[in-house]
Amino acid sequence: PLPVVAVVGRPNVGKSTLVNRILGRREAVVEDVPGVTRDRVAYEAVWNGRAFTLLDTGGWDPEGEGMAARITAQAEVAVTAADVVVFVVDATVGATDTDEGVVRVLRRSGKPVILAANKVDGPSAEADAAALWNLGLGEPHAVSALHGRGSGDLLDAVLNAV
């Protein structure tokens, strides 16, 4: 079986955009309004000749009751299935309480975690990415899933962790 890479994080941080960037095609559903993405969709991806299963997650209604709890629950399921986790944070927003909750799930799992500091569309947002060292998950990999910035380095780190 192929190694499984799960992409987790709050709604609207750009998980599905990142999945599409990695796939090189627009297959995952990207929504301006958070909460519409289907739950746990698996895709087959290839990077540097190495194939892996890419797991997109989402589908919570952020206005709904117990949103944070459902995000952590979803992360737990995805992490259980994963060999490596890509944790996506919106660097322009910074770490929220919900992000901290996901971090606790990730730590407990013992799985390798690659931190993607997304929405770093230009050099002026690099400092936002660096602030995410505070999450204690190691180096924040600055990426712009929208424009492709940094996605190659991120994938190198992901495949190194498999």
Residue ranges of the annotated binding site for GTP are 9-16, 56-60, 118-121
CA 32, CA 61: separation in Å to the nearest integer?
13
Q: What is the dihedral of CA 120, 5, 85, 27, to 10 degrees?
A: 40
Phi, psi of 8 (to 5 degrees): -125, 160
Residue 49 CB, nearest approach to ligand GDP (Å): 26
Contact set for ligand GDP, span 49-88 (CB under 6 A): 58
State yes or no: residue 31 binds ligand GDP (CB under 6 A): yes
State yes or no: residue 12 binds Mg ion (CB under 5 A): no
Please state at what angle helix 151-161 crosses helix 15-23, rounded to 10 degrees.
Answer: 90
Number of amino acids touching Mg ion (CB under 5 A): 4
Phi, psi of 99 (to 5 degrees): -60, -45
Residue 121 partner contact from ligand GDP, Mg ion, none using kind-dependent CB cut-offs of 5 to 8 Å: ligand GDP
Helix, strand, or coil here: 113?
strand
- Which residues bind to ligand GDP, rule: CB under 6 A? 9, 11-17, 30-32, 34, 37, 58, 118-119, 121, 144-146
- Which residues bind to Mg ion, rule: CB under 5 A? 15-16, 37, 58
